[in-house]
Structure 1
Amino acid sequence: MEPDNTPDVPAMPLANEDAPAPGAALEEAVKAGREGRLSNREVMSVIWTSELLSVGRLAKEDDSSSFQALVLKAPDSEYSVAAVFSTADRIPQQLREAAPVVVKATGEATIRSIAPGYGMALNPGHDVGMEIGPDVVASLTAAYDQAAEQAAQENSVRPERPGTDG
């Protein structure tokens, strides 16, 4: 038998071993919202700033601009929802097969891309998931637009009037 000359390689810690897993803060916010530790507004703020994964298909092969997100019928509701996920491991295999393209975007970009009349389902089928109705999707976008417009007005530079010192 030949001697084993394979060198021992010490285990190296991962670069960001202490960093939370992607989606962990979002999922914690959902849990905290359910438990009453965060308000609905705080949970929505976390969703707005988190990265979300949307699944779907390309209408035209090799054309990422033709991405069509997977839409599901919301249980016990009259509306449909865009299915989004906090992490890739939350995407069920059945959906991976039906909607093989995954797009990562901010919650803001994802919510803004949802057509009027549609809601959003975060991690559908999981206990760390939630559903947001079409009215909430629309009000979130409107509220953030209004806040951004107000901030822009407050931060705009007022022109100096001629003949004054400022």
Structure 2
Amino acid sequence: MEPDNTPEIPTMPLAHDDVEAPGAALEEAITAGREGRITNREVMSVIWTSELLSVGRLTKDDDPSTFQAVVLKAPDADYSVAATFTSADRIPAQLREAAPVVVKATGEATIRSIAPGYGMSVNPGHEVGLEIGPDVVASLVAAYEKTAEQAQESARPEED
């Protein structure tokens, strides 16, 4: 056996070693919420402002407007949930094969796109995951719409 003459290459720090992994802040918020360090409202606020990944497929090739997200049956409930993930490495391989299209959007856009009667699951099947029921999704959308409506009203010029 010949000696290994491969030179030792020193590891160089990456330019972005200090940058958190995608979804790290959201996963920390989910964990903190479970542990009671932050409120459910604070967890929802982090979800609302975070980026989420949704997996699915296109019903018409090359037409992004035909994206159909994967919907799963909630394990302990009688409703279905939109499957979302904090980062690509949280998406199970079998799901990637069945639903090869990944869409990145804010939590706000994702929640607002969920059809009435559906909930949302963040990292389904993963220990750092969370399920939001349809009632919470509906109340978040309603709160958004009320806030948007109030903002429009306050932006209108006053009538004499």
| TM-score, normalised with respect to structure 1 | 0.85
Equivalent position of 1:77 in the other structure? 77
Q: Given the superposition, is the C-alpha separation of residues 15 and 148 from structure 1 closer, same or farther in structure 2, using an over 3 Å criterion?
A: farther
Equivalent position of 2:49 in the other structure? 49
Equivalent position of 1:147 in the other structure? 147
Give the alignment of 1:20-31 within 5 angstroms: 20-31=20-31
Give the CA deviation at 1:151.
3.9
Give the alignment of 1:88-127 within 5 angstroms: 88-127=88-127
Identity of paired residues, percent?
Answer: 75
Higher-Rg member (1/2): 1
Q: State the alpha-carbon separation in 2 of the partners of residues 61 and 157 from structure 1.
A: 43
Give the CA deviation at 1:11.
4.8
Equivalent position of 1:61 in the other structure? 61
Equivalent position of 1:128 in the other structure? 128
Give unpaired runs (5+ residues) of structure 2. none
Letter in 2 for 1:91: I
Query: Residues 33-92 of structure 1, C-alpha deviation per residue, up to 9 Å, x if partnerless?
Result: 000011010000000000000000110011111100000011121110000000000000
Aligned residues: 156
SS of 1:47's equivalent in the other structure is helix
| TM-score, normalised with respect to structure 2 | 0.88
Q: State the alpha-carbon separation in 2 of the partners of residues 72 and 27 from structure 1.
A: 20
Equivalent position of 2:39 in the other structure? 39
SS of 2:36's equivalent in the other structure is coil
Q: State the alpha-carbon separation in 2 of the partners of residues 22 and 80 from structure 1.
A: 26
Query: Residues 89-130 of structure 1, C-alpha deviation per residue, up to 9 Å, x if partnerless?
Result: 000011011111100000001001100000001000011101
Give unpaired runs (5+ residues) of structure 1. 162-166
Q: State the alpha-carbon separation in 1 of the partners of residues 138 and 29 from structure 2.
A: 21
SS of 1:38's equivalent in the other structure is coil
Q: Given the superposition, is the C-alpha separation of residues 149 and 17 from structure 1 closer, same or farther in structure 2, using an over 3 Å criterion?
A: same
Give the CA deviation at 1:8.
8.9
Q: State the alpha-carbon separation in 2 of the partners of residues 91 and 20 from structure 1.
A: 18
